[in-house]
């Protein structure tokens, strides 16, 4: 007997202006009325597999046991495989396209233990189209798994080692600086870097130097001081480097959007170096808050 | 004894930036705690009854048995009637304004069998305002129907033949071309036409010619080649005409927004004709991808 | 034995483009699987405590018994206290930051009867960060309250009289006019004033005069006629002053956005005075509908 799940955590790039996410929920409700669907977000930028993979990775530690349904799928209907991946001795199953979207979250959840290709037509919607696999393949698979259908009923097993990996950029550690990248800009304009506190030398003080893209001259770079802080309020004026809720460092401004004020966005390079000592903050370059 | 429903599928133009949809859900929860509400979408453009009718029509085949609550209601509080319409021997009941919003979906569901005007004050919210019927009339009606209140308790019967119809534009078939219209632009920029595959002559090949509004010169028209494709990926470069997930043909560009690149939007006219044969694709007009 | 709740009404400025609200829902689901979460809205403008307080106040009469979870919290992690407030003999408990966000809704619900500071680490998420109290403190508190944990278990009692109040602007009544302010612009562009019908002299007729910011000359003011109406349709052409669904007066245009057409927004001053009599409407200033 297979395990029955009762929660589906759902992430996609479907947006909410169309009925896509609602239709997938309808299909799930029809097949597995007892399943509770939690929308993580549907506002991943269209086709942005990496942004979806990162959002899922940030969420995964908090997601209840059960099924994770994730769809950011520019190759829908093409050769990329629809898959389901079991993790943690069956505590969770990921359902989605095999395009790297699931990989970071699967890794955080302990790695793929079993995987199948979702090719069994019995568990697809009848008369399936080729452009809406969330409705026709992924949503039904998630719902049938909640009903206790065994993973291996959904299609032939796939070697977990052959699943598509995800390329999350790593920071580079040079002599006296760390070359980082903006991974995520949240609604509040906080700019998460691909750097955790352990990536910075312990000797560095509470003031760092950030080399950023020049907001005025394209291609140029400027240097600004940033204060390490544990809360947004503790930044005071100026720029802060705050340990964010997922354990990474983020470039922040208190009660303002660092992304807007500094004109930095996902993919921009940020170089961190040791700054002047706390006692010398008088030479801190002030933030020029543009509008 | 009347039937008890346990699912309400909810569509509106309330948006999510205000609390409107949440308040309607609160009212439903208060009256019918067992009812499960599925949000189809609340991002129908304000007052756009036709866009709401189309979204509901696209969704309806996937909606579970139960109540459909739809509110796009520029005439709220005026002479237009609040109604409930029973379909499919009671498998479903539509609740909303009698302004054409429900008509296409009701037709797809088999047509109106019984209808009532929601005028019984016992099933309205006490102290109802005249500007938020979703909260005061439609939401409560949907909830009471879930509780097993009979349709005819909600108000006097209305002749289904007298319900407001909806005007969905039909394509025009001329000698050697089909004059279509963009019905819907989705989040990904795919431009659904009011044309299904059966509307195109069987003799036409896999390359079509599309006459579109000129993106540069207002009022002018240009002609472009489009390839028929079953998936977005199969389009390759250029423009595709893809059978979408609702069975209609859509103008698409792989991993890009056809609406943005071609500058076409809902209501624009698209004329389809037979294109050059696949072997002659060298004369295909390339898409100029503007920005 | 403490009361068990089964509904959490949830409002925040988390938006839906990130996974914040979804993660809070996941945490709640994990702790209290029976709890039903209703999203009021998550689209409060970032950091806008007053807008959040007003949205919560507008919703509160319709929210089911249970827990209200509200998070608009620019001071997250700072000295402001995380709190829970009991109202109405335990029919409801508000959970959120003590920054004025909850105050108007608590007042409408009858006032704070008991309050505690959410400092008991047993009911916080382990390894809590300092930047996402919705996930780490508020969400868990709401869920544990649903499980029947007593309010006083969550932390030491706080004197309700010392909770942070909220400053909602009151209208000023002068000799022959009322100085009001736009409190809220909804998705449809209706501009709610901080004025109810009882604020206007009974002698005033159905046509009022509105002094508004000049849409063209910054700092200048212009005067326009407005018709009092009970529905949007009844406005006809021109500007209406409509009793909105929360009992306040709103500046509206039928099937258009008054905010866009008149270029007024939250915080703008609107001065109301007696207008010409209904019989003299020929001198009504027509609205110039810009674009």
pLDDT at position C171: 95
Q: C20 contacts in A (CB within 8 Å)? A: 186-187
Examine residue C167 and state whether it is found in any structural domain, yes or no: no
Residues 6+ apart with CB under 8 A from A57: A104, A105, A108
Examine residue B231 and state whether it is found in any structural domain, yes or no: yes
Q: Assess whether pLDDT exceeds 60 at residue A125.
A: yes
Considering the domain architecture, whether residues C176 and C245 belong to the same structural domain is answered as: yes
Examine residue B110 and state whether it is found in any structural domain, yes or no: yes
Q: Is B234 in contact with A29 (Cβ distance < 8 A)?
A: no
pTM for the complete prediction?
A: 0.93
- Can you tell me the distance from the alpha carbon of B236 to that of A173, in angstroms, rounded to the nearest whole number? 40
Q: C46 contacts in A (CB within 8 Å)? A: 187-189, 257
> How does residue B2 score in pLDDT terms, banded at 50, 70 and 90?
low
Instruction: State pLDDT tens for residues A199-232.
Output: 999 999 999 999 999 988 888 999 999 999 999 9
pLDDT at position B251: 98
Residue range B179-190: average pLDDT? 98
- Can you tell me the distance from the alpha carbon of C62 to that of C55, in angstroms, rounded to the nearest whole number? 12
Considering A162, A183, A214, which residue would you say is the last residue of a domain? A162
A39 in contact with C, Cβ within 8 Å = yes
Q: How many domains does chain C have?
A: 2
* Tally of CB atoms within 10 A around B22: 24
Q: Is B233 in contact with A22 (Cβ distance < 8 A)?
A: no
pLDDT at position B49: 97
Residue with tokens 């109810």: C196
Q: Least CA distance to B16: which residue of chain C?
A: C41
A234 in contact with C, Cβ within 8 Å = yes
Q: How close B57 gets to chain C, by Cα (Å)?
A: 24
Provide the 3-class DSSP secondary structure of residue A233: helix
Residues 6+ apart with CB under 8 A from A169: A181, A183, A194
- Point out the residue among B36, B41, B257 whose CB comes nearest to the CB of A18: B41
> How does residue C290 score in pLDDT terms, banded at 50, 70 and 90?
very low
- Can you tell me the distance from the alpha carbon of A39 to that of A49, in angstroms, rounded to the nearest whole number? 17
pLDDT at position C285: 43
Considering the domain architecture, whether residues A16 and A80 belong to the same structural domain is answered as: yes
C247 in contact with B, Cβ within 8 Å = yes
Considering the domain architecture, whether residues B250 and B200 belong to the same structural domain is answered as: yes
Q: Is B18 in contact with C187 (Cβ distance < 8 A)?
A: yes
Pairing state between β A172-173 and C191-193:
unpaired
Residue A59 near residue A12 (C-beta atoms within 8 A): no
Instruction: State pLDDT tens for residues A132-166.
Output: 999 999 999 999 999 999 999 999 999 999 999 98
Considering the domain architecture, whether residues A213 and A268 belong to the same structural domain is answered as: yes
Q: How close C134 gets to chain A, by Cα (Å)?
A: 11
pLDDT at position B279: 44
Nearest to A287 by CA among A218, A215, A245, A224: A224
A77 in contact with B, Cβ within 8 Å = yes
Instruction: State pLDDT tens for residues A163-190.
Output: 999 888 899 999 899 999 999 999 999 9
Considering the domain architecture, whether residues B179 and B155 belong to the same structural domain is answered as: no
Considering the domain architecture, whether residues B192 and B241 belong to the same structural domain is answered as: yes
Provide the 3-class DSSP secondary structure of residue A212: strand
Domain of residue C251, CATH code: 2.40.30.90
Q: How many CA atoms lie within 13 A of A124 on its CB side?
A: 18
Considering the domain architecture, whether residues A85 and A56 belong to the same structural domain is answered as: yes
pLDDT at position C77: 82
B64 in contact with A, Cβ within 8 Å = yes
Examine residue C1 and state whether it is found in any structural domain, yes or no: no
Q: How close B65 gets to chain A, by Cα (Å)?
A: 8
Residue with tokens 């970032």: C46
Examine residue B12 and state whether it is found in any structural domain, yes or no: yes
Q: What would the DSSP string read from start to end of C36-49?
A: EEEEEES-SPTT-H
Q: Is B59 in contact with A23 (Cβ distance < 8 A)?
A: yes
pLDDT at position C286: 42
Note the helical H segments in chain A: 20-31, 49-59, 103-108, 133, 139-146, 258-262
B16 in contact with A, Cβ within 8 Å = yes
Q: Enumerate the β-bridge partners of residue B191.
A: B185, B251
Residues 6+ apart with CB under 8 A from B229: B235, B240, B241, B242, B252
Considering A162, A190, A225, which residue would you say is the last residue of a domain? A162
Considering C129, C162, C195, which residue would you say is the last residue of a domain? C162
pLDDT at position C276: 74
Residues 6+ apart with CB under 8 A from C174: none
> How does residue C206 score in pLDDT terms, banded at 50, 70 and 90?
very high
Q: Assess whether pLDDT exceeds 90 at residue C1.
A: no
pLDDT at position A168: 83
Note the helical H segments in chain C: 20-31, 49-59, 103-108, 133, 139-146, 258-262
DSSP state of B237: S
pLDDT at position A285: 43
Domain of residue C47, CATH code: 3.40.50.10790
Q: Assess whether pLDDT exceeds 50 at residue C119.
A: yes
Cα–Cα distances in angstroms (integers) from residue A287 to residues A230, A261, A262, B3, C234, in the given order: 20, 8, 8, 65, 52
pLDDT at position A126: 84
Considering the domain architecture, whether residues B75 and B176 belong to the same structural domain is answered as: no
Token pair in block for residue C61 = 């009469």
Examine residue B167 and state whether it is found in any structural domain, yes or no: no
Cα Rg of chain C (Å, integer): 22
Residues 6+ apart with CB under 8 A from A122: none
Considering the domain architecture, whether residues B151 and B180 belong to the same structural domain is answered as: no
Q: State percent of chain B over pLDDT 70.
A: 94
Considering the domain architecture, whether residues C157 and C248 belong to the same structural domain is answered as: no
A260 in contact with C, Cβ within 8 Å = no
Q: Is A18 in contact with B55 (Cβ distance < 8 A)?
A: yes
Examine residue B129 and state whether it is found in any structural domain, yes or no: yes
Instruction: State pLDDT tens for residues B232-277.
Output: 999 999 999 999 999 999 999 999 999 999 999 999 999 999 987 5
- Can you tell me the distance from the alpha carbon of B74 to that of B268, in angstroms, rounded to the nearest whole number? 24
Q: Is A43 in contact with C76 (Cβ distance < 8 A)?
A: no
User: Which of B17, B47, B132 is the best residue to mutate to test the C interface, defined by the most C CB atoms within 10 Å of its own CB?
Assistant: B17
User: Which of A4, A12, A39, A41 is the best residue to mutate to test the C interface, defined by the most C CB atoms within 10 Å of its own CB?
Assistant: A41
A34-48, A55-69, C52-66, C117-131: which range is least confident on average?
C117-131
A232-236, B81-85, C186-190: which range is least confident on average?
A232-236
Residue with tokens 């452009």: A131
Q: What would the DSSP string read from start to end of B16-28?
A: SSSSHHHHHHHHH
Considering the domain architecture, whether residues C196 and C135 belong to the same structural domain is answered as: no
The residue segments making up the domain with residue A107 are 7-162
> How does residue A281 score in pLDDT terms, banded at 50, 70 and 90?
very low
Examine residue C2 and state whether it is found in any structural domain, yes or no: no
Considering the domain architecture, whether residues B177 and B261 belong to the same structural domain is answered as: yes
Share the mean pLDDT of chain B.
93
Instruction: State pLDDT tens for residues B105-156.
Output: 999 999 999 999 999 999 999 877 899 999 999 999 999 999 999 999 999 9
Q: State percent of chain A over pLDDT 90.
A: 86
Residue range A272-288: average pLDDT? 58
Q: Assess whether pLDDT exceeds 50 at residue B178.
A: yes
pLDDT at position A3: 76
> How does residue C128 score in pLDDT terms, banded at 50, 70 and 90?
confident
């Amino acid at each position: 007997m297979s395990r029955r799940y009762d929660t589906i955590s759902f992430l996609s790039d479907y947006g909410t202006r169309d009925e896509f996410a609602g239709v997938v929920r309808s299909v799930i409700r029809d097949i597995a009325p007892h399943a509770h669907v939690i929308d993580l977000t549907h506002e991943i930028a269209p086709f942005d597999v990496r942004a979806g993979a990162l959002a899922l990775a940030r969420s995964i530690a908090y997601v209840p046991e059960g099924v994770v349904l994730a769809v950011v799928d520019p190759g829908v209907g093409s050769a990329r495989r629809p898959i389901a991946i079991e993790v943690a001795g069956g505590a969770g199953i990921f359902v989605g396209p095999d395009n790297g979207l699931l990989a970071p979250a699967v890794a955080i959840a302990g790695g793929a233990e079993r995987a199948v290709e979702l090719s069994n037509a019995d568990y697809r919607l009848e008369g399936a189209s080729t452009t809406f696999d969330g409705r026709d393949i992924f949503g039904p698979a998630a719902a049938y798994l909640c009903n206790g259908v065994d993973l291996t009923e959904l299609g032939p097993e796939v070697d977990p080692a052959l699943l598509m990996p995800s390329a999350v950029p790593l920071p580079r550690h040079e002599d006296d600086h760390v070359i980082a990248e903006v991974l995520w800009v949240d609604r509040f304009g906080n700019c998460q870097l691909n750097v955790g506190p352990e990536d910075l030398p312990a000797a560095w003080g509470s003031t760092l130097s950030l080399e950023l893209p020049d907001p005025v001259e394209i291609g140029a770079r400027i240097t600004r001081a940033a204060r390490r802080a544990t809360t947004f309020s503790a930044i005071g004026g100026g720029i802060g480097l705050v340990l964010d809720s997922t354990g990474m460092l983020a470039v922040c401004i208190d009660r303002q959007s660092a992304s807007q004020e500094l004109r930095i966005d996902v993919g921009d390079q940020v170089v961190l170096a040791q700054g002047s000592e706390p006692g010398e903050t008088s030479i801190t370059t002030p933030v020029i808050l543009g509008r």
